[in-house]
Structure 1
């Protein structure tokens, strides 16, 4: 599937069929139809051994990352199953792990659970950052809630974020990624040494740690509310201008995307040729 195809270039019956099979309205999308290449067989095997998979992933996060997680969704891939999870409590984040499957024996390799390099570590950093600067995130959240209430735009459903997101700290309107170089000290090591640190303790810990905003990536993603609406330049320019002017929101490098109303079922992505974008090299640095 070419994820850059413009659905508005398809006409007549083909357009209707394309839209129905490939896209969902963002307001309706909870991850239905999400798929990974070559995962048809492993998906069935994983579901048949769901309890085994869930137990293995929960154990993996407890032992390697000192974190309790809730398993939301299992999606087969060519060599196993990708398991989408959410952390319990704070720091709060979404991520995923991968459980290998021996297809010939239909066996779950529970002792070989793994995660993509840096992915979970990144997610933990985003959760800590949100926890420490919760007042600034509240300002951003309040702005976006107000903006979507007064403009014909919406965000993703919470279920879609949980089931097929896996993008660190996330809300319906944005997700985050934080480089290990974003802080002057290694906050991940501090977390793994003492995962029970409270929010108050983390706030104190971070007082003397310098931030590098260009290594803190905050991606805003909004969708048009109406079914056939094209991304609106006036709305896009308004939110870009507002983010530039807003005070007391989280430091970071902000990218902004405004999509039409449709989201790809198989990937959970809204990016299309008609999407309006502001990102590299023109990110908003706060």
Structure 2
């Protein structure tokens, strides 16, 4: 897992080739990534940077939902060690392909300082995909009590999300998992209560 903090924040993964017999790195190139993984992570970080105020609202909204429904999220250590989906926060992450926002990605490659110009970034995002239908914002929580919450509770969370204003555009999902993480992979065991997706 790799974390980038400046000029944009995101988490991703790379593969490091290692010769286990010799206990040394493979000959160059010995570090690579799966196609599109790093590129998508960069675009997700740029999206969060371009719409900073909206993501501050989302941070506040998701934290309030967690408190209201007695839920937990990932802590920073867990995110740093196990998550590689792009821009990731305690209660949500963004998943996006650089192929959906080619203008944004190419502009960033040509000028890394672009990340400091939120107005220009916004215009580039709007040029590529004005409705942000291909941006997934996945809200994920862990139920503090034993088992899973009732579907009605998660549906209420969806309604709260629907009524909330000032959030970033995207296709939202809400999953509430059992309060159980599989240690060897740092992920929930898969059981969750899920709300129907919502386009904002």
> Alignment partner for residue 92 of structure 1, among 3, 6, 9?
9
Q: Cα RMSD between the aligned structures? A: 1.8
Unaligned ranges ≥5, structure 2: none
C-alpha distance in 2 between matches for 1:174 and 1:159:
15
C-alpha distance in 2 between matches for 1:250 and 1:243:
11
Contact 1:218 1:255 in 2 (8 A): yes
> Alignment partner for residue 258 of structure 1, among 176, 189, 194?
176
- 1:11 corresponding residue in structure 2: none
**Superposition deviation, residue 144 in structure 1:** 1.1
TM-score scaled by structure 1?
Answer: 0.64
- 1:206 corresponding residue in structure 2: 122
Does 2:106 align with 1:189? yes
Contact 1:182 1:213 in 2 (8 A): no
Does 2:22 align with 1:105? yes
Query: Cα deviations across residues 31-81 of structure 1 (Å, max 9, x unaligned)?
Result: xxxxxxxxxxxxxxxxxxxxxxxxxxxxxxxxxxxxxxxxxxxxxxxxxxx
Provide the aligned length of Structure 1 versus Structure 2.
196
- 1:26 corresponding residue in structure 2: none
**Superposition deviation, residue 91 in structure 1:** 1.2
- 1:233 corresponding residue in structure 2: 151
C-alpha distance in 1 between matches for 2:121 and 2:181:
40
Contact 1:90 1:131 in 2 (8 A): no
- 1:51 corresponding residue in structure 2: none
Which of these two proteins has the greater Rg computed from alpha carbons?
Answer: 1
- 1:164 corresponding residue in structure 2: 82
C-alpha distance in 2 between matches for 1:161 and 1:206:
27
TM-score scaled by structure 2?
Answer: 0.89
Query: Cα deviations across residues 156-206 of structure 1 (Å, max 9, x unaligned)?
Result: 1110100111110001101111123433x521111111112342x242243
Contact 2:114 2:121 in 1 (8 A): no
1:1-286 matched pairs, under 5 angstroms: 84-109=1-26, 111-112=28-29, 113-183=31-101, 185-199=102-116, 201-207=117-123, 209-210=126-127, 211=129, 212-226=131-145, 228-273=146-191, 275-278=192-195, 282-286=196-200
- Of the structure 1 ranges 256-265 and 114-123, higher mean CA displacement relative to structure 2 is found in 256-265
**Superposition deviation, residue 121 in structure 1:** 0.2
